[in-house]
Amino acid sequence: MAKAKTRVKVPKSVKKGEVFEAKALIKHKMETGQRKDRKTGEKVPRFIINKFTAEYNGKQVFASDWHPAIAANPFISFHAKASESGTMVFKWTDDKGKTVEASAKVNVA
Amino acid sequence: MQRFATKLTASFAAAAIVTIAMGADADVGDKYGAYKVEDRRSGFTYATKETQRIQVDDFENPAMIWVDDGEALWNKAEGEASKSCASCHNDAAESMKGVATVFPKYDPKLGRMKNVEKQINICRTERMKAKPWKLESNEMLAMTVYVRHQSRGMPMNVKVDGEVAPFFEAGKKFYYQRRGQLDLACGHCHVDNPGGQMRANILSQGQSNGFPTYRLKWQRVGSIHRRFRGCNKQVRAIPYKAGSEEYTNLELYVAWRGRGLPVETPAVRN
Amino acid sequence: MINKLEMQPVTRRDLLRYAGTGALAAVAAGLLPAMAQADAKMMADAMKKLIGDKKPTDGKITLELPQIAENGRTVPIGFEVDSPMTDADHVKSVHIFADGNPRPDVASFHFTPQSGTAKVGVRIRLAKTQNIVALAEMSDGSVYMGKAPVKVTIGGCGG
């Protein structure tokens, strides 16, 4: 998954204690394990991202477990609260245990 | 052909349902905003609110990842000439602005029309001395999306007269030619019946201003020629090849049909 | 009818009020006979695996679903759970199920008081018209449930 591409967004600036929205996209086929290869007729093995987490300044603020019903090129939006400026680290983990990280800074005014 | 035979029953069923309801649009004023010019409506106006919402936010639109990929490729030197796109064209935001509005364009050397994909491969083989990209490859889609994206919001404005006229006429002829086991021309769905239904789907005007487009069906980005192939298959006709002269002329005609509509690349559609 | 289907200004929340227009009903009618309702045992097992023998109470969860999904391969859904999200009283987890998919489990989401609000948007795959079920586990051990149907368009050029 080293080549996986991501896009993440948080507000540049929030007020102290304000709840803000974070958005994250990643390019991934999310193979369900149900699909058959058109040419060979054989089932394509399952290969999905099964975990997505977000840490703010090293502390987990959101986590999720994904099953094959999550659509290809997964999008997720969630919320967090910040009492100080810091960095949100987004982390995706696939079926092979490989991880991809992306980060974004939040300025607490 | 065997494949067509097995689908015959299904196609008759589909043919029966092609008694398409008329799109009696009661739309007045500018409720579609920039997505409508005179009687021409972007596919955006036929999409559900949910699909529209995915398109308009650059951090929800999954095709923006292809735009990012294209930007990285733009700056990557390749081939014997060790050149990148940026070596000649510098900043795409400046040099590629407006390009999507005027392609396909006539190429005197080829003696025919070329679309953005063809131009990219001409640059790769002639300027960069690199291998051409396969149509529909990740690289080609990413670069095409990136180049066309630089014109987002600008009105489609292809040239159709002068030396282009015979190619435009060929594209128009293709558009109104009945084909396939369903004996349907492009125009039967997209001129006569936009707003109506083909089975459970709403028919649009078949505009090209958002291509390459992220289709929910494909779960990825795809080209206008891939869409043409899909349409041709759906009327049970044998599709032409992506990149063929037939489809390039058709691309020109379809671009003219959408004249004035804003480039939306990368759009999100069903 | 067609105009309604296409242009009706529905909010995603309208789903809960969800009274199909003629056009929508017509679309659904075609699907209903083939709509084998959920393998109830699979659903029950999937839910039990996550919440044990706890009995969920209706409420607290607002589901944001499209009235009609243009394509089952990418269906945007969202939810929000009513909670103060304090150390003493917050949402711990929300589990989403789709009762007509080959596997009913879709995803689980885990929150902390630092989440601020238990509100999530995500895109899922739905094999056909079916119910979305959400279970919210609270910090006091109680479990709430929300459930609503989504109609999935099948067939035609996009299907």
Residues from chain B that touch C1, judged by Cβ atoms under 8 A, are 21
Spell out the SS3 assignment of C2-59.
HHHHHHCCCCHHHHHCCCCCHHHHHHHHHHHHHCCCCCHHHHHHHHHHHHCCCCCEEC
Mean pLDDT of A81-88: 92
Q: Does A80 touch chain C (CB under 8 A)?
A: yes
pLDDT for C82? 97
Of C3, C9, C73, the CB nearest to B216: C73
What is the distance between the alpha carbons of residues B179 and C51, in angstroms, rounded to a whole number?
Answer: 57
B85's tokens:
């796109």
ipTM score of complex: 0.94
Residues from chain B that touch C75, judged by Cβ atoms under 8 A, are 50
If asked whether residues B53 and B175 sit together in one domain, one would say: yes
Domains and CATH numbers, chain C: 2-152 (2.60.40.2470)
The C-alpha of B69 sits at a distance from chain A's nearest C-alpha, in angstroms, of: 8
Residue A27 to residue B59, Cβ atoms within 8 A: no
Among B17, B6, B2, residue whose Cα is nearest residue B184: B17
Active site residue B231: yes
Q: Best interface-test mutation with A: which of C47, C64, C97, C111 has the largest number of A CBs within 10 A? A: C111
If asked whether residues B90 and B201 sit together in one domain, one would say: no
Of C3, C73, C153, the CB nearest to B25: C3
What is the distance between the alpha carbons of residues C35 and C29, in angstroms, rounded to a whole number?
Answer: 10
Residue B177 domain-assigned (yes or no): yes
- Annotated active-site residue in B123, B186, B189, B231: B231
Token look-up 């109104």 returns B176
pTM higher than 0.80: yes
What is the distance between the alpha carbons of residues C135 and C145, in angstroms, rounded to a whole number?
Answer: 5
Q: What is the mean pLDDT of chain A?
A: 93
Domain boundary at B125, B149, B173, which?
Answer: B149
pLDDT per residue as tens digits for the range A28-54: 999 999 888 888 889 999 999 999 999
If asked whether residues B171 and B252 sit together in one domain, one would say: yes
Residue C115 to residue A80, Cβ atoms within 8 A: yes
Residue B235 domain-assigned (yes or no): yes
Instruction: Going residue by residue through chain C, which has 159 residues, state the pLDDT in tens, using 9 for 90 and above.
Output: 333 333 334 344 433 333 333 334 434 444 443 344 457 888 899 999 999 989 999 999 999 999 899 999 999 999 999 999 999 999 999 999 999 999 999 999 999 999 999 999 999 999 999 999 999 999 999 999 999 999 998 766 654
Residue B239 domain-assigned (yes or no): yes
If asked whether residues B223 and B109 sit together in one domain, one would say: no
pLDDT for B202? 87
Residue C156 to residue B197, Cβ atoms within 8 A: yes
Give me the number of domains chain B comprises. Answer: 2
If asked whether residues B182 and B244 sit together in one domain, one would say: yes
- Minimum CA–CA partner of A59 in chain C: C114
Domain boundary at B131, B149, B167, which?
Answer: B149
Give the CATH number, domain containing residue B145: 1.10.760.10
Q: Which amino acid, A10? A: V
pLDDT for B9? 35
Q: Does B200 touch chain C (CB under 8 A)?
A: yes
Instruction: Going residue by residue through chain B, which has 270 residues, state the pLDDT in tens, using 9 for 90 and above.
Output: 333 333 333 333 333 333 333 333 444 446 788 999 999 999 999 999 999 999 999 999 999 999 999 999 999 999 999 999 999 999 999 999 999 999 999 999 999 999 999 999 999 999 999 999 999 999 999 999 999 999 999 999 999 999 999 999 999 999 999 999 999 999 999 999 999 887 778 899 999 999 999 999 999 999 999 999 999 999 999 999 999 999 999 999 999 999 999 999 999 999
If asked whether residues B138 and B163 sit together in one domain, one would say: no
If asked whether residues B102 and B219 sit together in one domain, one would say: no
CATH fold for the domain made of A6-33+42-108: Immunoglobulin-like (2.60.40)
Q: How far is the CA of B76 from the CAs of B36, B92, B139, B143, B157, in angstroms? A: 38, 13, 12, 12, 30
B128's CB contacts (< 8 A; 6+ apart) are B78, B79, B80, B81, B83, B84
pLDDT for A38? 86
If asked whether residues B13 and B75 sit together in one domain, one would say: no
Cβ atoms within 10 Å, residue B80: 8
The C-alpha of A26 sits at a distance from chain B's nearest C-alpha, in angstroms, of: 8
Provide the residue range defining the domain that includes B92.
64-149
What is the distance between the alpha carbons of residues C141 and C5, in angstroms, rounded to a whole number?
Answer: 42
Cβ atoms within 10 Å, residue B174: 19
If asked whether residues B166 and B51 sit together in one domain, one would say: yes
> Apex CA B27: angle with CA B23 and CA B33, to 5°?
120
If asked whether residues B52 and B81 sit together in one domain, one would say: no
Domain boundary at B149, B177, B197, which?
Answer: B149
If asked whether residues B39 and B72 sit together in one domain, one would say: no
If asked whether residues B230 and B106 sit together in one domain, one would say: no
Residue B23 domain-assigned (yes or no): no
Q: Quick check: C129 and C63 in contact, CB under 8 A?
A: no
Instruction: Look at residue C64 and give its three-state secondary structure.
Output: strand
Q: What ranges do the domains of chain A cover? A: 6-33+42-108
